[in-house]
Amino acid sequence: MGPVLAGVLQMLALTGALALVHKPLGTCLAKVYSSDEHWRVERWIYKGIGVDPGTRMRWPAYLRGVLAFSAAGVLFLYLLQRTQGVLPLSLGFRAVDPDQAFNTAVSFVTNTNWQSYYGEQTMGHLVQTAGLAVQNFTSAAVGMAVAVALVRGFARSRTGELGNFWVDLVRGTVRVLVPLATLGAVMLAACGVIQNFSGIHEVGQFTGGPQQWNGGAVASQEAIKLLGTNGGGYFNANSAHPFENPTPFTNLFQIFLILVIPFSLPRTFGVMVGSVRQGYAILATMAALWVAFVALMMWTEFSHRGPAFEIAGGALEGKEVRFGVGASSIFAVSTTMTSTGAVDSFHSSFTGLGGGIAMLGMMLGEIAPGGVGSGLYGMLVMAVTAVFIAGLMVGRTPEYLGKKIGTREIKLAACHLLVTPALVLVLTACAMALPTPVNSTTGGGAHGFSEILYAYTSGANNNGSAFAGLDADTGWFNTTIGLAMLLGRFLPMVFVLALAGSLAAQRPVPVTAGTLRTDKPLFSGLLVGAVLIIAGLTYFPALALGPLAEGLAA
């Protein structure tokens, strides 16, 4: 079997598996967030944190809950890292430096999982499990809660109430993420991913001399890092490490875990607004973009010119031979078009155009299918924008799901769309103006620029992957990327929740002959065009200086 055919077959198998679970999981998620019944363990949690689950929140109260919980998470994780040296299960590692502890705390609370450190040489078992793994659950649950709040904004009328953040947070964790992550961890452990609390031990190398390795509760953390589109690896090599991802099957299963919730949430949206066809329109848009990017990535990596590439059957530099070019291409697109950031290959070693495709997947806003929760609300904001554009074209007041898209709504949508590009481009420009000792890359030119552009794109979009070669463990990058992650996560949430509150307060508009049908393929095509044009116009000059220049020069 040729490598191209193997990649296509893996793509088809993955698509089939996602199609099988789309309806049951999406419907289940809708029931989770619509039920009036509280489980006993959930009532214990509410009582423990002093929350009344019957309280209904308007968007400012919902936002305060999101920000307060996230701020507490940053503080807790920061203190845990700073006191690591005196904690049990530290493996002898010292306390993490202040700037790196800040960066890591922000990274995991914002669902970014950017890592400017070697995991197996920096974090002990306690910090990995009680700190990083816990935030993998809660940050994903926060994203789903905000997405559900926006869906309620479309579904409800003449009320500003969006539900209860604490209830949505607890249900997303207890009813969705914990059960699915448990199943995923059992599957990964059964397939060879390690799960232990062993200390550091020495092993021999083929080239001679010893090498130190430590174990860890890797299978359990690996499952939620992927399922929650978090991405932080237990080891520095992430999902390229055989302890985290030993076989081609586990590699494909990990891609499935990345995509399963984001591709099921459009069904949840359709069920909650009372029209599954609306959910299918959103799903079709996400799927079309994802398939197109995978096809482009495979084409660039399989067809790169040169004798070495032709003999190897593709651009194998930076890729694990046990996975190959096809599986690595699928993984790279899936992890950058969601807010995951896990890697089974080094994106910096992809061809120039291949690295650009991975970067553009993040620049779209990671909405195809996007992160857990963040992908759905990002795509719905883009749908609001597309409806507004269509309304301008025909001279009619735009409407979406029975709600008028007026001045307030489009301003909030525009602010959501502009926050991330502003952070990426401004911070990249500032970093490029710094002297070389602070701005350290593997080389100058187009690729050096791409490394810095990729870093800020990854941070502001809450992805977490990186182009290897950039020395990001400096005071400048730890601080500025940390700020990019904070602002890139929570400023969009402010605008999304404000939009949800505005929509929920509206009176529904009756459907007429002039209403744009947003459950048809025509609207999906319009939405795809809006996504590509908005991102393309915003980022094209920066892409032309980096990956496009590198790719065309190759």
**Span 314-326, pLDDT tens digits:** 567 778 888 988 8
Report the pLDDT averaged over residues 487-491. Answer: 95
pLDDT at 209 over 90: no
pLDDT band at 548, cuts 50/70/90?
A: confident
pLDDT band at 19, cuts 50/70/90?
A: very high
The Cα 487–Cα 135 span in angstroms is 18
Is residue 390 domain-resident? yes
Is residue 187 domain-resident? no
Which secondary structure element, helix H or strand E, spans residue 400, and what is its range?
strand 399-400
How large is the C-alpha radius of gyration of the chain? 23
Is residue 151 domain-resident? no
Domain extent for 458: 372-553
The Cα 439–Cα 448 span in angstroms is 10
Is residue 418 domain-resident? yes
Give the pLDDT of residue 437.
Answer: 44
Give the pLDDT of residue 201.
Answer: 66
How far from chain centre, in Å, is Cα 268? 18
Condensed to tens digits (0 to 9), the pLDDT of residues 433-463 reads 877 545 555 556 788 888 889 999 999 999 9
Given the structure tokens 């003999």, which residue do they identify?
311
pLDDT band at 513, cuts 50/70/90?
A: confident
pLDDT at 119 over 60: yes
Is residue 402 domain-resident? yes
Give the residue, 288 or 87, on which the prediction is more confident.
288
Give the pLDDT of residue 294.
Answer: 96
Give the pLDDT of residue 191.
Answer: 94
Is residue 358 domain-resident? no
Report the pLDDT averaged over residues 525-539. Answer: 92
CA angle 545, 550, 553 (to 5 degrees): 120
Residues of the chain above pLDDT 70, percent:
94
Report the pLDDT averaged over residues 44-65. Answer: 94
Evaluate whether 140 touches 110 at the Cβ level (below 8 Å). Answer: no
Is residue 388 domain-resident? yes
Q: Which of 41-45, 113-117, 224-228, 428-432 has the lowest mean pLDDT?
A: 113-117
Is residue 472 domain-resident? yes
pTM of the model: 0.94
Give the residue, 313 or 87, on which the prediction is more confident.
87
pLDDT band at 120, cuts 50/70/90?
A: confident
Domain count, the chain: 1
Give the pLDDT of residue 309.
Answer: 56
pLDDT band at 90, cuts 50/70/90?
A: confident
Mean pLDDT of the chain: 89
Given the structure tokens 């799960």, which residue do they identify?
195
Amino acid at 162: L
